[in-house]
Amino acid sequence: MMIEKQPGMKYRYSFPDFLYYSALLAIPVVTAFTAVLEQSGAAALVYLLVLLGSVPVMLRFFCTHCPHYCREENTLKCIFFWGLPKFFRQRPGPLGVMEKCLSVASPVLIILFPMYWLVHTPGFLIIYLLSIMVFGASVRRNECPRCIYTDCPANKAKQQ
């Protein structure tokens, strides 16, 4: 996969990039988990399983198309997954319809699953919603305009 170098594009991520987005994402995850756990230990366990189960789904159906995944390295080095082995074969190019659907459904499930418990704790719900908005806005503002994953449906990089 040949990627033409453009100024301002993000060709490699650093470990601090990963730490920044992990810390940002930890806020809604910990908030949701805490709200669910206060009301149901079993539901909190299910939420953890949903979170963990979404990782291979995202890796297989979304990430395997990404240029950061398609590097020759044996482990991932991106803002969402750092140091994970590449379990799936690389598949450069655009996502198919099913892959797009699964790539959207997985985060939607993660976001919506804890809502039942969050609405019962309005303080946690406000923190949860605000932190998801900050995370999404940060990615859209800081990463999407510089993204080399030109086949990503959310890509905002200026194409030449």
**Exposure of 96 in the CB half-sphere (CA atoms within 13 A):** 6
pLDDT in tens, 3-61: 555 557 888 999 999 999 999 999 999 999 999 999 999 999 999 999 999 999 999 99
What pLDDT band is residue 2 in, cutting at 50, 70 and 90?
very low
Q: What is the pLDDT of residue 21?
A: 96
Q: What is the pLDDT of residue 150?
A: 84
Beta bridge mates, 82? 77
Q: Which helix or strand (DSSP H or E) is residue 75 part of?
A: strand 75-77
How many residues does the structure list for the chain? 160
State how far the Cα of 128 lies from the Cα of 6, in Å rounded to an integer: 36
Which residues, other chains included, contact 98 with Cβ-Cβ below 8 Å and sequence gap of 6+? 61
- Tokens (6 digits) for 129: 């919603």
Q: Do the beta carbons of residue 95 and residue 155 sit within 8 Å?
A: no
The DSSP line for 92-120 is -SPPPHHHHHHHHHHHHHHHHTTHHHHTT
pLDDT in tens, 107-124: 999 999 999 999 999 999
Q: What is the pLDDT of residue 159?
A: 58
Domain definitions of the chain by residue range:
15-146
State how far the Cα of 159 lies from the Cα of 136, in Å rounded to an integer: 22
Q: Is the pLDDT of residue 96 over 50?
A: yes
